[in-house]
Amino acid sequence: MKILESAVLRRPRVRRPLIRGVLALCAAAMMFSMSLSIPAHSPSSHEAHSLSAAAADLFVNSAAGDYHLKDGSPAEDRGETLAAVPFDKEGKPRPVGNASDIGAYEHGTPVPPDTTPPAAIADLEITNVTITSVTLNWTSPGDNGTEGTARSYELRRSNADITVANWKSATKVAGAPVPLPAGKRQGCNVSGLLPDNIYYFAIRATDGHNNTAPISNVAWNRTLRLVPDRRKAPWRGPFSTSRPRCTPSTCPGKRP
């Protein structure tokens, strides 16, 4: 029993050369990991998002514990903009400038978000009608109200009047042009329509911050109907939009 108890309580001895080998492997692995993770350095031998400067050049009053960046601080726009850090210590959005500042506090006044949509188009009109198409024209709005340039148009058509309530159910028209600067006249041709049908059209603009204008005025018209060519009898087609003309053979007794 004493021999067995002694064997159980005695800890196994590990050879020192084996320990040294394990430590050497760990050290090599750490060096390899560091060689892969060290970021690119700037020509001044600093990491791309770090710098060396006197506290007096960086902060408002570091001696008093005020580590807000001073105007003209070299730490402005020198940090890395990270999606995981959208705010500074005081809740100010990052970045204010072209990039985040180095430090706990972002310097400067944030630009207020753009919440102004383009103006509503008020002069949408149909300027030409054929059997299967219409031509629309309007004055381009702006990015902010009637200033600047909007990003895109959304044009829709329907066989019934278009309102805010049924806007989404109206058919979206492909091929709307890119907006021109505010105040310019522009338009587009809408094809693929059916003859002798009434169509309603409305349009709205969206700016670069996804602010969308109210829908425009509604323009409507009827496409032209097909007129059979009566110069051929019996009529089997084709169709024509021209007015039929009389000839001596088709209208006896009448002058052409």
Q: Are residues 215 and 241 in the same domain?
A: no
In a domain, 40, yes or no: no
**Average pLDDT, stretch 185-207?**
97
How long, in residues, is the chain? 256
> Bigger pLDDT: 155 or 88?
155
Q: Are residues 153 and 212 in the same domain?
A: yes
Q: What is the pLDDT of residue 35?
A: 35
pTM value?
0.54
Residue 158 half-sphere exposure, CB side, CA atoms within 13 Å?
Answer: 14
Q: Is the pLDDT of residue 77 over 70?
A: yes
Segments of 34-166 assigned E as strands:
59-61, 66-69, 125-129, 134-139, 152-158
Q: In this structure, are 61 and 136 located in the same domain?
A: no
**182 and 103 belong to one structural domain:** no
d(CA 178, CA 153): 7
Tell me which of 1-5, 6-10, 28-32, 55-59 is least confident: 28-32
Tell me: do 130 and 196 sit in the same domain.
yes
pLDDT of residue 47: 64
Q: How many CB atoms lie within 10 A of CB 113?
A: 9
Question: Sorting pLDDT into bands at 50, 70 and 90, what band is 12?
Answer: low
Residue 101's CB is within 10 A of a number of other CB atoms, namely: 23
- Do 199 and 237 share a domain, yes or no? no
Place of tokens 């009434």: 198
Name the least confident of 81-90, 105-114, 127-136, 160-169: 105-114
Question: Do 86 and 155 fall within a single domain?
Answer: no
Question: Which residues form the domain of 133?
Answer: 125-222
pLDDT at position 200, please? 98
